[in-house]
Amino acid sequence: MTSDAKVIPLIAKPLTGEQAAAMAQHAIKKHHVAIMLLHWFNATVWLLQLATGAALIRSPYFRVVPYWYIRTVRGMFGTKANMLRFHITLGVVWIAVFAVYGIFGYRTYLVRQVLQREIRLDRDDLLWLKTRVLNLLKRASHSLPPQGIYNAGQKLFALSVYTMIPIVMITGVVMSFRLISTTAVQWAMVLHFVAVGFVVSGLMIHVYMGAVFPEEKPAFFSMITGMVNELYAYRHHFKWWREVKMQEEAWEEKLGYAAKRPIPAVAAVAIETEQPPEVAISQSIGTHKASLGYRIFRAPTYWPPYVAGAGLGFTLLATFLLIGQGLGASGAFARSVGALVAWIAPSYAAHSASWSIYAASGQSPLINFVVFEMLGVLAGGFVSGWLAGRLKLTTEKGPHISARKRHVLALAGGVLTGLGARLARGCTSGLALSGGAVLSVGGFIFMLAVFGAGFAGAYLTRRYWL
Amino acid sequence: MSAPPLPPSFSLTAYLLVSVILGFFFGFFLERAGFSSARKLTAQFYFKDFAVLKVMFTAIVVAMLGIAYFALLGWLDMSQIFVTPTFIGPQLAGGLLLGAGFIVGGY
């Protein structure tokens, strides 16, 4: 930034190319991680509730989807009662999460986030709406007035959502638990349907703007990374940009002039490109190392995920064709322990409910696909790491915890993982990956639970990894 | 995990050898994707690196389509394929436990 740009402008002026380029590089924080988590949780719930809710409505007056869809979705749950139970349970979880945010984060989320930033329309917002409509109708082509962190269109959507969500929640509870009176339940059905309809009509625009509309791409990514580039903020949310700049300036004054800008800019860009410095060096030296074979097998970079994923997929397919089941991992450990138990205490193992299944065929539990496959996994992983020069003895940990603590946590995590895998009868390989490929419902439920718990709890374990 | 009977055309040695070879490729591709790194695996939960989801769903879709096409062309008897049985409660609870173990332990 040039020195004259130090004075924070009152109105958005046209930028020089140099200024715009510098601002495009500089990221500023837009969303807190708690807000992003809530957003995606809410999005997932809406998706699942709309999918199951639509299949619950059979009445010809209200039905919104074709019968084949209703049959398919009900088929996935087995019975209508199961699907209804799922819909109600998820709804209760949804209400509980919002309640937690509303109660424990009353000031932060309800007052500051929702009331002050998301739904309060000021004079600029009203002018924005008027100009936007006139421009759309081709009655005028005025430039839009400056906007805060959310523009007036977004605020209108938020307003409708925040009005309708309590209605959806209350009517849902009334219907589910048949509260008050039959008449109330009947009214609740209609209101539930209408309120959801309102949200869905806004949701269509919301999803279109976020996922498709090219100018709003930064807004979409800000919901994943929490950051937007300064240029986007300047052009689309000028008043918010100004607010951020004033805060930055206040901080700079507080800290003295020396401790200036670079910190947030670097922190924002350092996403995604976590590569060891050797990579950059090896890429810059000698052409003799640039042969295709070298780049595929010997280069210290990982393969692109879609390439490695396809390789994994073909291996999985071959396993189904040759062996008749998918790939696994935890089974090998369970069988090893089974063999150990049978060796030490044969009569106990033969009569124990959990260990006898492995010895049922009279053969050692170790003479099995998954056990020998696991031996191959060790070899394959070793060879791959060796070719790429990744073999080394080290404790992999986040920068802020000690190796000793990491070891203890690894053991604790391993205990949880092992328990989970045995309870579910499979791990991420045997159940999520292999089960997913043959469309096992349990596989997908397990997968959702794993990632659900991971994303939900990640905030608590951030100190271990970040 | 109840293993299906050995494919009748395989001797036991061939079956175990094929198991090791399939495992070799499994391990190889997992390492190639970066799944040997706990930091890379957990980075997804902080929205920094979605390699895990990308690799996993690519693999699922590839294998799924492969199985569907093989069955369609009559080269594969779908009834011989082991589909992991569904136990909603235990699998939900097990998944939550495993997910918690994942972010604590890293794998």
pLDDT in tens, A260-299: 444 443 333 333 344 444 444 444 444 445 567 777 888 8
Report d(CA A440, CA B67) in Å as an integer.
Answer: 13
The pair of three-digit structure tokens given for residue A267, joined into one six-digit string: 């922190």
At residue A135, the pLDDT reads 76
B-facing residues of A in 129-158 (CB < 8 A) are none
Give yes or no for a contact between B32 and A308, defined as CB atoms under 8 angstroms apart.
Answer: yes
Q: What is the pTM of this model?
A: 0.52
pLDDT in tens, A71-108: 888 888 878 888 888 899 899 999 999 888 888 877 77
CA A449 remoteness from chain centre: 13
At residue A30, the pLDDT reads 77
User: Confidence band (pLDDT; 50, 70, 90) for A361?
Assistant: low
The pair of three-digit structure tokens given for residue A287, joined into one six-digit string: 């052409």
Residues B43-47, mean pLDDT to the nearest whole number: 90
Mean pLDDT, all residues of chain A: 80
Residues B16-43, mean pLDDT to the nearest whole number: 92
**Better-scored residue on pLDDT, A311 or A150:** A311
- Which residues lie closer than 8 Å to A284 by C-beta, 6 or more apart? none
Residues B55-79, mean pLDDT to the nearest whole number: 90
**Which phi and psi angles does B76 have, rounded to 5°?**
-140, 130
At residue A271, the pLDDT reads 37
A416 touches chain B (CB under 8 A): yes
**Chain B residue closest in CA terms to A416:** B101
Residues A416-424, mean pLDDT to the nearest whole number: 92
Q: Does A385 score more than 60 pLDDT?
A: yes
At residue B98, the pLDDT reads 94
* Percent residues over pLDDT 70 in chain A: 87
Residues A429-449, mean pLDDT to the nearest whole number: 92
Determine whether the interchain pair B62/A323 forms a contact, defined as Cβ–Cβ distance below 8 Å.
no
The pair of three-digit structure tokens given for residue A214, joined into one six-digit string: 């090219």
At residue A64, the pLDDT reads 79
Q: Which of A131-145, A231-245, A311-325 has the highest mean pLDDT?
A: A311-325
pLDDT in tens, A337-360: 888 888 888 888 888 877 877 766
Determine whether the interchain pair B98/A322 forms a contact, defined as Cβ–Cβ distance below 8 Å.
no
Determine whether the interchain pair A441/B86 forms a contact, defined as Cβ–Cβ distance below 8 Å.
yes
Q: Which of A372-376, A425-429, B3-7, B35-39 has the lowest mean pLDDT?
A: B3-7
Q: By CB neighbour count within 10 A (0-12 exposed, 13-18 middle, 19+ buried), where does A222 fall? A: buried
CA distance A403 to chain B (A): 13
Q: Which of A135-139, A396-400, A454-458, B20-24 has the lowest mean pLDDT?
A: A135-139
At residue A6, the pLDDT reads 54
Residues A64-68, mean pLDDT to the nearest whole number: 80
At residue A45, the pLDDT reads 92
Reported as type and span, the H/E element at residue A229 is strand A227-229
The pair of three-digit structure tokens given for residue A63, joined into one six-digit string: 């039905």
At residue A284, the pLDDT reads 42
Give yes or no for a contact between B28 and A381, defined as CB atoms under 8 angstroms apart.
Answer: yes
A276 touches chain B (CB under 8 A): no
Q: Does A43 score more than 60 pLDDT?
A: yes
**Which of chain B's residues have a Cβ under 8 Å away from the Cβ of A377?**
23-24, 26-27, 30
Amino acid at A440: S
Residues A55-66, mean pLDDT to the nearest whole number: 78
Give yes or no for a contact between B102 and A450, defined as CB atoms under 8 angstroms apart.
Answer: yes
The pair of three-digit structure tokens given for residue A121, joined into one six-digit string: 């329309």
**Better-scored residue on pLDDT, B75 or A307:** A307
pLDDT in tens, B70-84: 888 888 888 888 888
Report d(CA A85, CA B88) in Å as an integer.
Answer: 13
Determine whether the interchain pair B46/A462 forms a contact, defined as Cβ–Cβ distance below 8 Å.
yes
**Better-scored residue on pLDDT, A185 or B59:** B59
Q: Which of A281, A319, A266, A352 is nearest to A26 (CA)?
A: A266
Q: Does B40 score more than 60 pLDDT?
A: yes
What's the N-to-C CA distance of chain A in angstroms? Answer: 30
Report d(CA A220, CA A318) in Å as an integer.
Answer: 38
Q: Does A375 score more than 90 pLDDT?
A: yes
Gyration radius from chain A CA atoms: 28
At residue A372, the pLDDT reads 92
pLDDT in tens, A126-185: 777 777 777 777 766 667 777 777 877 788 888 888 888 889 999 998 888 888 888 888
Residues A221-250, mean pLDDT to the nearest whole number: 79
CA distance A163 to chain B (A): 30
User: Confidence band (pLDDT; 50, 70, 90) for A201?
Assistant: confident
A354 touches chain B (CB under 8 A): no
Determine whether the interchain pair B104/A430 forms a contact, defined as Cβ–Cβ distance below 8 Å.
no
Q: Does A259 score more than 70 pLDDT?
A: no
At residue A415, the pLDDT reads 94
User: Confidence band (pLDDT; 50, 70, 90) for A3?
Assistant: very low
Helix, strand, coil in percent for chain A, rounding step 5: 70, 0, 25
Report d(CA A249, CA A8) in Å as an integer.
Answer: 9
A409 touches chain B (CB under 8 A): yes
With vertex at residue B53, the alpha carbon angle to CA A331 and CA A32, rounded to the nearest 5 degrees, is 125
Determine whether the interchain pair A324/B81 forms a contact, defined as Cβ–Cβ distance below 8 Å.
yes
Report d(CA B76, CA A341) in Å as an integer.
Answer: 37
Report d(CA A224, CA A37) in Å as an integer.
Answer: 9
At residue A275, the pLDDT reads 42
